[in-house]
Amino acid sequence: MSASNAESENILKTGTTTLGMKIKDGVILATDQRATMGHLIANSNVQKLFPIADNIGMTIAGGVGDAQLMVRYMKSQIAIYTMQKGTQMCVETAATLMGSVIRNGFYVAPLVGGYDKKGGHIFSVDMAGGVIEDNYSSSGSGSITAYGVLENLYKPDLSKDEGINVAISALNAARRRDVYSGDGMLVMYIGPDGYEWIDNAEIRKRLENLGFKYPN
């Protein structure tokens, strides 16, 4: 994200490209791993994708400090809810809760995705706390490029295998054209049995099969 003044240029940001999509039997969440400080690449191995419950994950875009605090808050609130109610929190409730917290001044624009009794869900949460559900969504400085790939390749009935390849293709396009996105990739599948990290070796193999290079 671009900064509006010299002070904000020094804030450690995730840059970034994050995306999420509904597929036939769940959702796919994916991010790059670059953090920037102004025009400096501050870190090339940043985690921007987190499970916040067995059935829910979130991506982060914006200020790293605010984003990490949001992850810890959401994990604790969902855990308390689960203990009190004896059931999993639904994805829409988690996204609405996050939107309410962001209105208090968090510099983040996350995506929330997961699987519940109604199936898979992807929500975008903006910096004003607005919550919107869609079949697919992307956030961060590379999102425009990622959307071009998603618009071309996305179908509602994508299999898990197809969805992972679409996510990798969208991230690859963004990291090639957006200087604030790049380096590693994180990919997660969430379905009826909970969340599953896609192994880095598997991501590298898929990149090679798709004709892409890893890393930049």
Name beta bridge partners: 51.
57
Beta strands in the chain (DSSP E): 12-13, 18-23, 26-32, 35-37, 40-43, 49-53, 56-59, 111-116, 119-125, 131-134, 136-139, 185-191, 194-197
Q: Is 26 left (phi over 0), alpha (psi -120 to 50) or beta?
A: left
Q: What is the CA radius of gyration of the chain?
A: 16
Which letter does DSSP use for residue 146 in this model? H
Crossing angle of helices 160-177 and 143-153, in 10° steps, is: 140
Give the phi and the psi of residue 46 in degrees, each rounded to 5: -90, 135
| Residues carrying an active site annotation | 16
